[in-house]
Amino acid sequence: MGLIAELLAKRSPVVHIVSPEQTVLDAVAVMAARRVGAVPVVERGHLVGIFSERDVIWRVVARGRSVEKTRIVEVMTPDPVTAEPGDERALAMLKMEEAGCRHLPVVQYGAVVDMLSIRDLLFGELEERAEAVDSLRRYIGGSY
């Protein structure tokens, strides 16, 4: 299936961080402007949590909390599962399945370098399989 680094090499990094002291409204504004479903929460250069669209629904809206007054630290998912660029993409998918999450911070040397969604991993898998099918078709057709 390949390494996460191979997938990341095909695109620009997608990292839009927030701090634990920012409000939910701040984080939602970043997520909406950047069209992402989750943002890593970073304090003094270290990943301390992740804040996702699920957190907005389950921990803020469903509980009647104020998006203007609630700080991210109060409603984020602390100590999220992470991956490293050298990890296999299959391992990243397994980690996401086990944690029940759809977003995975990619960390290198202690710093967040990118964010992956389950969609990124699935599209990477589909692309790889399409290339294999095309290669087999060329081989069978004698045009290899």
Torsion of Cα atoms, 23 then 27 then 28 then 33, to 10°:
140
Assigned token pair, 21: 């002291």
Taking the C-alpha atoms of residue 58 and residue 64, their distance in angstroms, rounded to an integer, is 10
The CA-atom distances, in angstroms, between 70 and each of 33, 40, 105 are 20, 17, 23
Number of domains in the chain: 1
Identify the residue whose tokens are 């992402």. Answer: 36
Q: What is the per-residue pLDDT for 127?
A: 64
Residue 109: give its domain's CATH number.
Answer: 3.10.580.10
- Pairwise CA distance, residues 41 & 64, whole Å: 22
133 Cβ contact partners less than 8 Å away, ≥ 6 residues apart: none
Structural domain span for residue 45: 4-140
Per-residue model confidence (pLDDT) at position 124: 56
Q: What is the pTM of this model?
A: 0.82
pLDDT per residue of the chain (144 residues) written in tens, 0 to 9: 689 998 888 888 878 999 999 999 999 999 999 999 999 999 999 999 999 999 999 999 999 999 999 999 999 999 999 999 999 998 999 999 999 999 999 999 989 999 999 888 876 565 665 565 566 677 777 765
